[in-house]
Amino acid sequence: PPLTAQLSLLLHPGEKGDRGERGMQGKFGKTGVAGSRGHTGPKGQKGSMGAPGERCKSHYAAFSVGRKKPLHSNDYYQTLIFDTEFVNLYDHFNMFTGKFYCYVPGIYYFSLNVHTWNQKETYLHIMRNGVEVVILYAQVSDRSIMQSQSVMLELREQDEVWVRLYKGERENAIFSDEYDTYITFSGHLIK
């Protein structure tokens, strides 16, 4: 167009045209500086309870005790009280009462060893909750001997096991000499 028309267009622009199409995205700029840490959000709701865990797989119970003092029968039953503690796991065997108290139910193995007294009977029971379970017996003899008895018992919680000397219908005794341990009582959980 002539120069005068061009000048006229520059001095008197026309109406604004329509918006053009969006151009292509430019290149990404450099990473900016990290912003400051935001405020702590509100506490979330309590989660649901998880599945129950497995039962403890390792239970133990074991004791082994001894007696250095002899014991003679009299007109009532006597519980053997032990004065020597070899093993007493978790104190399940009470040294004052002479009784093993079951805290872990299961199958137990018990063993009793005594030294007989020459010219006297030896007559004992391993007891459970006041009931005679097995007997340890030796007849009168000119010679003293070591005598033993053992048994497996299925125990429930709070069962009690102990050794009882029979009352003296006949003279009945176990031997020891105050220095050595001739009498032992042991027990442990098998399963």
Residue 123 C-beta-side C-alpha neighbours within 13 Å: 15
Third-level CATH fold of 62-189? Jelly Rolls (2.60.120)
- Predicted confidence band at 73 (pLDDT cuts at 50, 70, 90)? confident
Mean pLDDT for the chain overall: 86
Beta bridge partners of 62: 188
Q: Can you give the residue ranges of every domain in the chain?
A: 62-189
The pLDDT of 33-37, averaged and rounded, is 82
Report pTM.
0.68
Give CA–CA dist 82/9, Å, rounded.
Answer: 124
Q: Which tokens belong to 119?
A: 């010219």
Minimal CA–CA distance to 65: which of 35, 38, 89?
89
Q: What is the pLDDT of residue 19?
A: 80
